[in-house]
Amino acid sequence: MHLLINIIHTKIALKNKSSSGFTLLEILTVVMLIGILGAILAPSWLAFVDVQRLNTAQSEVYSAMRQAQGEAKKSKFTWQASFREKNGIVQWAVHPAIVNPSIANWNNLNSNVYLDSETTLQQSNSIRRIQFDYRGNIVGLPRRITLSSKYGGKAKRCVYISTILGAMRTAKERNKPKDGEYCY
């Protein structure tokens, strides 16, 4: 009799305990919601990352041009900022104009950035350049370098040297083109 009472108490205790955990349907619902949110947010995140890469590259290009201009004023010689694409990577170097660019100290921009067709820098032997004379003035006509992302999108970043005196400014893409160009 004592054994029978213990079995009954055990069965009652097991019935009163609720089963814990999630059902398969609940888990599938959560996984599906996470998947939908990821599909919605992923393109926006990737576009944001591309824009940040372009902003960083634009800052590096702007700094390189400013450095070349400053060195020209300081040394009283013509200096240049050189740009090239090597193995799919945009590179830049700042050096005296009399130095062969092939022996200059080249620095890489982000590998997801390329020189856009709107770039108007002088080009010689696949090297684009901008030169500054001993007063920091631009040698030649005003110039622009335009950067875009290799993965598409409309984002562009530009660095302009807008006057013969070497005044520089940065810009980004616009919705409407001006003279056929979106970065102005």
pLDDT digits (tens, 9 = 90+) for 53-91: 999 999 999 999 999 999 999 999 999 999 999 999 999
Q: Are 159 and 170 in contact (CB under 8 A)?
A: yes
Using alpha carbons, select from 91, 107, 112 the residue that is nearest to residue 155.
Answer: 112
Q: Would you call 107 helix, strand, or coil by DSSP?
A: strand
At residue 157, the pLDDT reads 93
At residue 151, the pLDDT reads 83
At residue 127, the pLDDT reads 94
What H or E segment, with its residue span, contains residue 137? none
pLDDT digits (tens, 9 = 90+) for 98-155: 999 989 999 999 999 999 888 988 888 899 999 999 999 998 877 899 999 988 778 8
| Positive or negative: CA dihedral 87, 112, 91, 124 | positive
At residue 17, the pLDDT reads 58
**Per-residue pLDDT for 6 more than 60?**
yes
At residue 183, the pLDDT reads 75
What H or E segment, with its residue span, contains residue 106? none
- Count Cα neighbours of 50 within 13 Å in the Cβ-side half-sphere: 20
pLDDT digits (tens, 9 = 90+) for 10-67: 666 556 555 678 899 999 999 999 999 888 888 888 889 999 999 999 999 999 999 9
